[in-house]
Amino acid sequence: MILKNFFMLQNNPIEFKGSVFTFLVLYIKNHIINLVKNAISKKIKESPVFFKDAYVMLNISHLTASVNWNDMYKAIISTGLRIIGICGYVDCILKSIVVRSGLPIFNDGKTILNNKNYLQKNNFLNFKNNKSVIITKPVRSGQKIYVKQSDLIITNNVSTGAELISGGNIHIYGKMRGRALAGVHGDNTRHIFCTQFFAEIVSISGEYVLLDQVSSSLLGCSAHVFLNKNILYVKSLT
């Protein structure tokens, strides 16, 4: 019997089983690295035994691609915490940066409202239909609107910290101070049009430009964002 079990273990050296693990989730709500690091260190000092070599999941839904992710990651692990992965909604630009750093991204799956044509996850509107989506109300800071395939049309202002994500084109007829990501599923023929350009980040098919990289002559003016030979251009419409 012992010999038989030995050969069975040789032939089946691994086994997959379903299981459930519970980890601490650390929500990072600020882009300032030293501020985050000091806050973590302070919390660890309050309960050093509890947090010693603790494994945590990072929720970075409050962060954007403008964060220096590599420095943020190094700062967090320097406190002694051990990061096992990322959760929460992550925009496509930051997602690619995180993946390159070697961390897995988990879907937390906490959808709180299922309506006729969209899913709402906190301030995250996820439109499922194939028609152009038109939003007439202001898009506030912290709100995220995702349109999988069709165009996204905003006929109002978009605040700093808001995020527009579309597999199609994006049109903003108002002040654009947030983030606009078009062609997020890899379609590099998509465009972004804006009547008053102040955008934090604009992106098409993963290529992106930050506000401080845009000519100051374009600020507050109508703008056209497009890709040509993998170079992202932001040009005036007038």
- Pairing mode, if any, of strands 124-127 and 144-147? parallel
Same domain, 171 and 220: yes
Domains: count for the chain: 2
Q: Of 100, 124, 152, which marks where a domain is finished?
A: 100
Of 11-20, 25-34, 81-90, the least confident: 11-20
**Residue 150, domain member (yes or no):** yes
Same domain, 130 and 80: no
Indicate if the pLDDT at residue 66 is higher than 50.
yes
Distance CA 160, CA 175 (A): 10
Same domain, 68 and 130: no
Residue 53: CATH number of its domain: 3.30.70.260
Same domain, 136 and 90: no
Same domain, 60 and 81: yes
Same domain, 29 and 126: no
Distance CA 126, CA 146 (A): 5
Provide the β-strand partners of residue 125: 120, 145
**Residue 2, domain member (yes or no):** no
Indicate if the pLDDT at residue 210 is higher than 80.
yes
Distance CA 76, CA 212 (A): 27
Indicate if the pLDDT at residue 38 is higher than 50.
yes
Domain with 197, as residue range(s), is 113-236
Distance CA 183, CA 167 (A): 4
Same domain, 122 and 169: yes
Indicate if the pLDDT at residue 2 is higher than 60.
no
**Residue 15, domain member (yes or no):** no
26, two tokens? 């650390």
16 contacts 10 by C-beta, under 8 angstroms: no
Of 14-23, 131-140, 179-188, the least confident: 14-23
User: Whole-model pTM above 0.85?
Assistant: no
Distance of CA 211 to the CA centre of its chain: 18
Same domain, 44 and 127: no
56 contacts 83 by C-beta, under 8 angstroms: yes
Same domain, 212 and 121: yes
Indicate if the pLDDT at residue 118 is higher than 70.
no
